[in-house]
Structure 1
Amino acid sequence: MPVIGHKESMIFFVDGPGGIGRTSLYHIVLATLSKTNHIAIATATSGIAATLLPGGRITYSRFKIPLTPDASSICSRSKQLDLAKLIRRATIIIWDEAPMNMRFVNDEEFTEFIQRIGDGNELFIMDDLIKLPPSMAMQWEGQHSIYNLIDQVFPSLQEHANDARHMVDRALLTPINDDVELLNAKIISQFPRDEFTLHSFD
């Protein structure tokens, strides 16, 4: 790593769709620096992403970033604290999922909830499980709940099916591909026109 060897300051932005290996890259960088006694700080905007990094912490908690930042905002960390000294000595700071700042800025309740988790102040139920606030969860009422979820994320789907901006500003995320296929099938079935398939090849 020439930049580290020459003690230069530089910012790198790693971008790309899910599955290209960003997390693996971060693991390699962190392991390499650790072996050579460098200090590396690993953070992520979301809690899930933070757990995937060795020693990962939520960025807003780690640096005490204000919940509603503006052009004059500063992080509330005293320069005399041990963490401030650690940051000054760090060779690298990794911030995964940096674009998630958009959700933090626009959703105050979500921001405060994530902050409590990052600070360790959110109550655990059992086995380190955290109960989502009612405003962030839906009551399960069988398969009909799936359509309720779709309606919440994609309201008036048939009316907005041809509105690209309406569609790209919304997304449903799932941990397994089977759920992706289930949701895709149910959503596509609600589009107003006949379905057709386009094939691609290398």
Structure 2
Amino acid sequence: MIHKFAFEALDRTFRDVTQVNKPFGGKVFVFGCDFRQVLPVIPHASRAEVVSASLSRSYLWRCMKVMKLTINMRLCQTDDIHENLRQRNFAEFLLKISNGKYPVIPDTENVIDLPSDIVIPEEKLSDLIDFVYPNLIENFGNVDYMAARAILTPKNDDVENISFLIMNRFPGEFHVYPSADSIDLTEDSNMEQPQLYSPEFLRSLRIPGLPPGELKLKVGAPIMLLRNLNPSQGLCNGTRLICRGFYSKVIDAEIMTGPHISSRVFIPRISLTPSDTDLPFILTRRQFPIRVAFSITVNKSQGQTLNRVGLYLPQPVFSHGQLYVALSRITSYQCIKVLINGDQKRQTKNVVFSEIFQ
């Protein structure tokens, strides 16, 4: 969810442009938001600060008419009465998860028991990969196959590790693209010799929102765009593509989802700078703005509809709505499996900030 400041800035802009002192200059806006899903991401923020940054805490909220959607359109209905009943039961399960109403294990903080039929009993990541990507070699380069599935996990490090494991199963040779990194020292830094940070060290840094310092790709592998390059051609942040060819200055890719599906595009290198890090310098990374997308973070999966999902939880989710988002990407209750590390294979946290609904 976008920070409330973005909406308030838009409101002030329209008031200035139209010279009409009404919300958004008197223009009608339609907003789509779900407070059950992930709230604004603010590094190091407290629970109260995250809730306060939400749209419902803005001065604009009292000017809005709330219209609620009540039917889960993602879960498909069938002609089978028993299947429809299971789908409805799963939809009710998702609502309880999203609202924080699903029973919590006594004497624990937000810990729940997931249904046994969606949990992989053995702690084997290979089993989860096989469930999400069966017959992977036979479907090498198949757009429909790749677009319909992904392994979700909360943290970027696990995303990269899973994608690398699956990439090793893929046929073909790796194409390696190292980044060109540079730094500017921050005002708080006492370092007078930025050259002491070696290119190898800078390239090894894993920073949320930036592509890796060393991209390892194969033809037929799925990738996700990390920046808006050309929205009119479908090249938006979060667009999923499949690699078709590699060149020194561009990557040839095919769009897998959305209205521009099957379009061939060229992705260039661009310079990227993270908005907020704990580093003592400002890093600029020149790299292709993509990430391998066999696995994606739970936050990045918002808005996606998938036919098969694996949820990998080496650690529990850590933010409001993440468990609900991960479990609700599918079209059928049969199409998701969860792998939880630890002794309790079915137990995990469901983090819900109940005050956001008030």
Q: Normalising by structure 1, what TM-score?
A: 0.53
Return closer, same or farther for 1:30/1:118 CA change in 2, 3 Å cut-off. Answer: closer
Would you say 1:114 and 2:94 are equivalent positions?
A: yes
Q: Which has the higher strand share?
A: 2
Return closer, same or farther for 1:12/1:121 CA change in 2, 3 Å cut-off. Answer: closer
Would you say 1:124 and 2:104 are equivalent positions?
A: yes
**Aligned residue for 1:140?**
122
Q: How does 1:1-202 map to 2 (within 5 A)?
A: 1=11, 2=14, 4=23, 8-12=27-31, 27=53, 29-33=55-59, 38=62, 63=68, 65-67=70-72, 101-102=73-74, 104-105=75-76, 108=87, 109-118=89-98, 121-125=101-105, 126-141=108-123, 145-198=124-177, 201-202=269-270
In 2, the alpha carbon distance for the partners of 1:112 and 1:28 equals 25
Gaps of 5+ in 1: 15-20, 43-61, 68-100
RMSD: 3.8
Return closer, same or farther for 1:13/1:66 CA change in 2, 3 Å cut-off. Answer: closer
Return closer, same or farther for 1:136/1:66 CA change in 2, 3 Å cut-off. Answer: same
Q: Which amino acid aligns with 2:53?
A: H
Q: Which amino acid aligns with 2:118?
A: M
The question of whether the paired residues in 2 share the 8 Å contact of 1:153 and 1:170 is answered with yes
Return closer, same or farther for 1:137/1:9 CA change in 2, 3 Å cut-off. Answer: same
The question of whether the paired residues in 2 share the 8 Å contact of 1:30 and 1:40 is answered with no
Q: Which has the higher helix share?
A: 1
SS at match of 1:171: strand
User: How many pairs were matched up?
Assistant: 138
In 1, the alpha carbon distance for the partners of 2:56 and 2:99 equals 23
| Bigger Cα Rg | 2
Q: Normalising by structure 2, what TM-score?
A: 0.32
In 1, the alpha carbon distance for the partners of 2:64 and 2:122 equals 42
Q: Percent identity?
A: 23
SS at match of 1:197: strand
In 2, the alpha carbon distance for the partners of 1:170 and 1:132 equals 21
Higher RCO (CA-CA < 8 Å; seq separation 6+)? 2
Return closer, same or farther for 1:105/1:27 CA change in 2, 3 Å cut-off. Answer: farther
Return closer, same or farther for 1:123/1:148 CA change in 2, 3 Å cut-off. Answer: same
